[in-house]
Amino acid sequence: MKKPISIVWFRKDLRLTDNLAFYGAANCSDILPIYIFDDLDVQGSASNVWLNHSLAALDNSLDQRLNVYHGKSDEIIDRLIAQYAVKQIFMNICYEPEMRLQEQKVRKICDKHNVVLNNSSSNYLQKPEVLLKNDGTPYKVFTPFKKRLQQLNLRSLVPKPHVYSCIKDPNAAHIFIKPTGWALKVISNWTPGENAAQIVLKEFICNGLKGYGSSRNMVAEKHISRLSPYLHFGEISVFQILDQIENATVSPEDKEMLYSELVWREFSAYLLAHFPKIDHEPFLQKFKQYGWTENAEYLKRWQRGQTGYPIIDAGMRELWNTGYMHNRVRMIVASFLVKNLNIHWHHGRDWFWDCLFDADLASNSVNWQWVTGCGVDPSPFFRIFNPTTQAENFDPTGEYIKMHVPELRNMPLKYLFEPWTAPKELQVTTGIIVGQTYPNPIVDLRLSRENALKRYQLLIDKK
């Protein structure tokens, strides 16, 4: 008797191991594995580069039987159900508003055809509707959220199915594009895909997890996981990471700090699920009246790493050249944009969205609002990062700055964090002439900080 056919609809779950949707389908039917480039699910430029490689890796894992389509998800699935007499669809839930809208439209198609839509949750520790306060409302503060999450039982890992049969649709698109130019440069030091994610995790556990709690903010050291792009595309699950670090020979403090970072990601998705406007509206509504300034020249210099503040410029160039930025530096450059340059956080959100491999809608939006001081459980507005002291504290040898701002390599450490203070004769000797080979600071830190606090006070004083 011929086995029934089920669709596995891949979205942000581009892996075969610990994937509830793929596991469920493999146990009951032949599989039509699909990915749809839907206009409702828009990626940034860097994310598109990663996604192309990730889909190629998934296609290899499926023996070149991944079926890729372009168009509206509901219309494509409607056609596939009819073409292959599909009885069930398996998918994993996503919490972005547009992807939820996709799911609603597909559910209507399934109802029309009497097809079962199975939606699992493989990518997050708990479904947002499960984690509520005693009064039935969502959490808005991280620490109580984390404590409540720790009280709940987590699901077990599921293996990659030992046996499964996938169908190749001859009408599916060919989407794998060889990168050129900037795309080739930005992906050159990365290997997307499920297998690579496991290698990166093992490397981090062996060489980066020990000391993570105390050294994760040191921007030139290797106490970073670099797992965020793999998590974003679901090439690895948070359950797999927690399972692997459970028996790692590191201190409880190191494990706890990594756990907290993973839970912050969880909290961000949770907030987007409960407050779907958080990607474009400030959670604290009073910030709609904040006096932002439009300054295209300042924004461009920030984007290109030409602000005259070495730690800022190093971070922005790392982003442009690698599709990634150290988390501590993300906070520094974000604070500088919204508080010292007084440019709306939307502009920073959009630039990160376009340039980051891990441009997750929830994390990107929540983190920008956190730095700005307008989000859920935000950093206080008066916490304005000083680029000089941040560089002194977290890049004390200047290794990170010199790596990403090579024109400053010959600058003595004494002047590296504030090159404009170097004596003129030293600038000539080193060939680092501020205002010529490296830009002057675009704003005065003290004055811009004072102006930011004045604007904030005006906001508070408004009735």
The tens digit of pLDDT for each residue in 112-157 reads: 999 999 999 999 999 999 999 999 999 999 999 999 999 999 899 9
Q: Which two tokens stand for residue 14?
A: 């581009």
Nearest Cα residue to 229 out of 366, 418, 53: 53
Position 361 scores a pLDDT of 95
Distance CA 199, CA 207 (A): 12
Tokens 């929540």, residue located: 366
- Percent of residues in the chain assigned helix, strand, coil, to nearest 5: 50, 5, 40
Band the pLDDT of 1: cuts 50, 70, 90: very low
- For the stretch 166-181, pLDDT in tens is 999 998 986 667 778 9
- Quote the CATH superfamily of domain 5-122: HUPs (3.40.50.620)
Q: Which two tokens stand for residue 446?
A: 């003290």
Q: What angle do CA 448, 277, 457 make, to 5 degrees?
A: 30
The CATH classification number of 285-461 equals 1.10.579.10
Distance CA 225, CA 232 (A): 13
Q: 3-state class of 170 per DSSP?
A: coil
What percent of the chain shows pLDDT beyond 90? 90
What percent of the chain shows pLDDT beyond 70? 99
State mean pLDDT over 194-221.
95
In the chain, where the domains are located: 5-122, 124-156+193-274, 285-461
Distance spanning both ends of the chain, measured CA to CA: 73
Distance CA 263, CA 241 (A): 12
State mean pLDDT over 204-215.
93
Distance CA 73, CA 348 (A): 30
Domain 124-156+193-274: CATH architecture, name and number where available: Alpha Horseshoe (1.25)
Band the pLDDT of 318: cuts 50, 70, 90: very high
Q: 3-state class of 220 per DSSP?
A: coil
DSSP-derived secondary structure letter, 438: B
Alpha carbon separation from 373 to 265, 282, 456 (Å, rounded): 18, 9, 10
Q: Please, where are the H alpha helices in 208-294?
A: 212-215, 228-232, 238-246, 252-274
Distance CA 175, CA 120 (A): 27
Tokens 């097809």, residue located: 115
pTM (predicted TM-score): 0.95
Band the pLDDT of 462: cuts 50, 70, 90: confident
